[in-house]
Each structure stands twice: as structure tokens, then as C-alpha cells.
Amino acid sequence: MTYGCAVTAKLIAEEPEFAALVAQEASVLVPEYEGKFAALQPEEGRFETGPLDALLAWAGHFRKTVRGHALVWHQDLPPWAVAAIGESPRRARGVMEAHFDRVLAHTRPRIRDWDVVNEPIANPPGSDVPEPAGNTTDLRDTPWLRALGPDYIAIALRAARDRDPLLRITLNDYGVEDDTPSSEEKRQRLLRLLRGLRARNVPIDAVGIQAHLQLRNPFRPDQFRDFVRQIRALDLQVLITELDVRELRPPVGDFPARDFAVAQRVHAFASAAFEGGARTLLTWGISDRWSWLHREQAVALAAGDVHRGLPYDWELNRKQMWR
């Protein structure tokens, strides 16, 4: 299997311990911010590739592969883009095409795999962050969907293929891992989308499963393995793209028990993914110290505590999850 993780150009430049860990452990890197729309085109027509280029240069020095993330997403659209996309379908297409033109031409020599569409599936009822009532379709309500209709996905995937015929085109999403009714519904929604794309011959090579796991949700390895197989049966590759684990009201201080629970879940999850046919696994960060989990997803934690959901802890010791 191939292991990789999300990094930022800033951490690589400013935290030598982070850079050393990544250099040692990861063979694939993905930028946590630097490939997002607002990072790359903060104002219309002004492209900012400095941070992404810095990351690519560092990766090149250490002979690491870099994946791209993410061309079309509902988050991290700068205000100008939200407004422009909302003007008319024609304008929305123009915004998408201009972004793809510049970004893919720039990264083509170095990035051979992009999350072209990120998080397109609507969260079913019962999810942590359900879609607003009223959206009963499979697709998330986004500026792109409102402007271009459900076809925005095919439009984006084709636009990527047109600009880079050998790019591995990946569609990435989350919330499809658990043994819960909403996760099951999201799996079915994703499979319907993928089958529809296949039936229409829309270019797509891989599915990214983010895997921001939550210990409070039940997990059934055979169920998840079969889901991965169903994607593979459509002749699509499967990557685990953003693995980490949120804990359930962790007992304060009891690190061994917590780390065991996290490692157990990751072992069950990763084994099922590999049995199903996934070959690549990336974690979203590498150490709890710099994880988005405590910056943004700290629910259920005591003040001052952090989720222990990555292979290395705050002190940069390997945890059981690493094994």
C-alpha cells in the first residue's frame, strides 16, 4: 500500500519536526489549503500559485508524489466566484473553465491526480450536518449546482479531461463509511451518481473516500469492504484520502485506552478498504499537534484536550494507529 498525508506549505517551511516526519513517512502529499479555489484565485484572473509551488518544490526534492485538492467544491469559493457563478450558467461555465485552464496547465507537469469534484453528495437526513430540508435530490445544494444543474459534475470532469487527457480524475466525498442509515443512504447516492456517469461515458478514474471517522458511529467492515468493491466493479480506483478519527467523549487523560480504540477502528477500516481493493491511504495531517480536528472539530472534547486521531501524538510519538 501507498501511504501519504495532507500537508501545508507553511508547516513544511516553519516546523522542521513536521517536515522531517512527513519526509520520513509519506510518499504522497496533498495540500490541505493550497490547491483550493480561493487559495489559487483569490480575485478573478489573479492566480496565486506561490504556496502550492513551494509545496511542489519541497515534494520534488524528496521525490514525493503530490495529489491535487480540490478544483470544484462548495467551500473555499471566494466571494467574487460565488457572485460570478450566480450570474448566469454561461458565466459559471466561464469561471470553471478559466480556473481549470490556468490551474491544470500550471500543475500538469507535477500533479497527475486531482480531486476534480469534492463533496458533491447531499447529506441525508440523520447526518451530522444534514442538507436543508427541501433538497430531496442526491446532490448537495451548491453555487455550481444552482447555476449549472446536476450536470455540473459531468461538465467539470470533462473539462478536466479535455485539459489533461492523462490526469487521474478523482471524485472525493465523505460520510460513506459508517453502519448508519444516513451513511448507507449516502453510499447509495454516490453509487447512483457513479453509475450515471459511467453510463454516459463521463471521464472519471477514481473515487476518494475521505474517511473522517467518528468513533461514536458503528462500523461494519464487511459492509464497507463491499461498498469499495461496488465502486471497483465500475472499473474505478478507490483511494482513502483524508483519514482521521474523532473520538467519543474521551475519558480525560486515559491515553492508552483512547489510542487503543482509535487504532482498533483504523485497523478495521483500513483492512476493509484494502480487502475491497483500495491501494492508497492518506491521513489528513500526520500528528495531532497540527490537526484540523482540534482547530475545527473539537466537539465532545474537554477544554484543552485534543482528538488523538492521527498516527503521531502531540509530542510526536508514534501511537498504535501508526502500527
Convert 54-67 into a string of H (helix), E (strand) and C (coil).
HHHHHHHHCCCEEE
Among 118, 214, 230, 283, which residue interacts with ligand XIL (rule: CB under 6 A)?
Answer: 118
Compute the distance between CA of residue 34 and CA of residue 21 in angstroms, rounded to an integer: 20
CB of 292 to ligand XIL, least distance (A): 3
288 in contact with ligand XIL (CB under 6 A): no
Q: Which is nearer to ligand XIL, 74 or 232 (CB)?
A: 74
Residue nearest to ligand XIL (CB): 292
Whole-number minimum distance, CB 70 to ligand XIL, in Å?
A: 6
**CA 216 – CA 58 distance, rounded (Å):** 38
Is there binding between residue 292 and ligand XIL (CB under 6 A)?
Answer: yes
The per-residue b/e assignment along 306-320, b for 16 or more CB within 10 angstroms, e otherwise, is bbbbbbbbeeeeebb
Buried b (16+ CB within 10 A) or exposed e, 135-160: eeebbbebbbbebbeeebbbbbbbbb
Distance, CA of 45 to CA of 90 (rounded, Å): 17
Under the criterion CB under 6 A, does residue 314 sit at the interface with ligand XIL? no
C-alpha cell at 3: 501511504
Q: Does 210 bind ligand XIL (CB under 6 A)?
A: yes
Residues 30-69 that bind ligand XIL (CB under 6 A): 32
Task: Using alpha carbons, select from 44, 111, 112, 41 the residue that is nearest to residue 76.
Answer: 41
Residues 123-142 touching ligand XIL, rule: CB under 6 A, are: none
**Residue 218 is placed in which grid cell?**
458503528
CA–CA gap between residue 319 and residue 309 (Å, rounded): 10
Residue 40 or 93 with smaller CB distance to ligand XIL? 40
Residue with Cβ nearer ligand XIL (93 or 121): 121
80 binds ligand XIL (CB under 6 A): no
In this complex, which beta carbon is closest to ligand XIL, that of residue 41 or of residue 118? 118
C-alpha cell at position 304:
484543552
Residues 251 to 280 in contact with ligand XIL, rule: CB under 6 A: none
Q: How many residues bind ligand XIL (CB under 6 A)?
A: 6
* Closest distance to ligand XIL from the beta carbon of 138 (Å): 19
What is the rounded distance in angstroms from the CA atom of residue 208 to the CA atom of residue 168? 11
* Contacts to ligand XIL from residues 150-169, by CB under 6 A: none
CB of 294 to ligand XIL, least distance (A): 11
Three-class DSSP category at 10:
helix
Contacting positions for ligand XIL (CB under 6 A): 32, 118, 210, 242, 292, 296
